[in-house]
Homo-oligomer: A and B are copies of this chain.
Amino acid sequence: ADPQAVADARAHQDRLTKPRGALGVLEEVAVRLAGAAAASPPPIPAPAALAIFAADHGVHAQGVTPWPQEVTQQMVANFLAGGAVANAFAAQVGASVTVVDVGVAADLPPARGLVVDKVAYGTADLSRGPAMTGRQVVAALEAGIAVAGRLVGQGARCLVTGDMGIANTTASAALICAFTGHDAAEATGRGTGVDDETLARKVEIVRRALRVNGLADPAPGMTVAEALRRLAAVGGLEHAAIAGFILGAASLRVPVILDGVIAGSAALAAAALAPDAVDHCVAGHRSAEPGHALALAHLGLRPLVELELRLGEGTGGLLAHPLVCAAVRVMHEVATFDSAGVSEKEA
């Protein structure tokens, strides 16, 4: 983050016609984006573009979810037809929707709004060895970087992460453990609503994945090679692509709003690859998944929306977009005490 822009943004906030600090967390968001953009005020982060990265997961075979794997491709069709919650929320906030097939376990018919950059027909089972090869993880990262570049090239000034992949909260939990050192039982949740028995199995699968892949020990001061190895070992293709999407946004100095636990776990990988990338991230919301709070704490991000959402798709990130815009808009449009002739409080 640019220290001069941060200082300028803080000073500007204090001159506006409101008590100091009265906008709470939103003042910090605006200052953060100023630092990331190296400009105070930072550019208005609109229009927004949502990218939903879709992929399947070999670990689905372990019974970690009651949803059939086919739901991934069925929901992709639903996104492309405009019928999902993410579409409704995108319409509400004026965001475009792009679906990116980086690893769905089926060939999808071409459609408007669908980008096919398929790295594999789903990952291998992370509980039996690495989910991705080294070549696959790099290809998925590059797919995400490319989408960020394309959307910004088309005029987007804010990116929003989205995901679709039945079983992907299992991979997320494993990533959170692998990058933060938390135990599987702390990081693993009920996803889209699994019962007690399935949750216990899910925790055991995450624990096995960490053991099988040699990720039990936390790795402070992780090298880029080790970060890539961990992402490949227990991540999903959509996680890797979202990590690339974040890196792409950061390199273009465009803010990226993170959705839920999938994005949070992907951001851990992005941060391990390039720590400054986090400066460009805004945590859109905190999901009901316990691992998400752990990931956000590790990243030092405070979520804007806390409404017990547990849907993914980018829904929580989209809801945060008007809040982020409002935070920045204040710096462009609100009068100062001097300019408005408003008295300040007595010392």
Interface bits A65-106 vs B (CB < 8 Å: 1, else 0)? 111101100110110011111011101110000000000000
Q: What's the nearest-Cβ distance from chain B to residue A30, in Å?
A: 11
Interface window among A130-138, A235-243, A250-258, A306-314: A306-314
- Contact assessment for A67 and B335 in the assembled complex, using a CB-CB cutoff below 8 Å: no
Known: A26-B309, A345-B193. A81 touches B335 (CB 8 A): yes
Interface window among A149-157, A180-188, A212-220, A324-332: A324-332
- Contact assessment for B333 and A326 in the assembled complex, using a CB-CB cutoff below 8 Å: no
* Residue A305 is within 8 A (CB to CB) of chain B in the complex: yes
* Residue A346 is within 8 A (CB to CB) of chain B in the complex: yes
* Residue A225 is within 8 A (CB to CB) of chain B in the complex: no
- Contact assessment for B343 and A85 in the assembled complex, using a CB-CB cutoff below 8 Å: no
A334 to B345, CA, bound (A): 49
Residues of B within 8 A of A24 (CB): 288, 307-310
A24 to B315, CA, bound (A): 12
* Residue A297 is within 8 A (CB to CB) of chain B in the complex: no
* Residue A52 is within 8 A (CB to CB) of chain B in the complex: no
- Contact assessment for B83 and A17 in the assembled complex, using a CB-CB cutoff below 8 Å: yes
A84 to B337, CA, bound (A): 10
Residue ID in chain B nearest A285 by CB atoms:
B24
Interface bits A163-194 vs B (CB < 8 Å: 1, else 0)? 00000000000000000000000000000110
Q: What's the nearest-Cβ distance from chain B to residue A174, in Å?
A: 21
* Residue A341 is within 8 A (CB to CB) of chain B in the complex: yes
Residue ID in chain B nearest A87 by CB atoms:
B333
* Residue A275 is within 8 A (CB to CB) of chain B in the complex: no
- Contact assessment for B16 and A85 in the assembled complex, using a CB-CB cutoff below 8 Å: yes
* Residue A322 is within 8 A (CB to CB) of chain B in the complex: yes
* Residue A11 is within 8 A (CB to CB) of chain B in the complex: no
* Residue A21 is within 8 A (CB to CB) of chain B in the complex: yes
* Residue A304 is within 8 A (CB to CB) of chain B in the complex: yes
- Contact assessment for A19 and B84 in the assembled complex, using a CB-CB cutoff below 8 Å: no
Residues of B within 8 A of A330 (CB): 85, 88-89
Residue ID in chain B nearest A92 by CB atoms:
B326
- Scoring A77, A81, A91, A342 by chain B CB atoms within 10 A of each residue's CB, the highest score goes to A342
Residue ID in chain B nearest A308 by CB atoms:
B24
- Assuming A82-B333, A91-B333, what are 8 further A-B pairs, CB within 8 angstroms? A17-B84, A66-B346, A67-B343, A77-B341, A83-B334, A83-B340, A305-B323, A319-B322
Can you report 8 residue pairs joining A to B where beta carbons are below 8 Å apart? A17-B83, A19-B193, A23-B85, A78-B340, A87-B333, A88-B332, A319-B322, A319-B326
**4 smallest beta-carbon distances between A and B, as pairs:** A24-B308, A83-B335, A19-B192, A22-B311
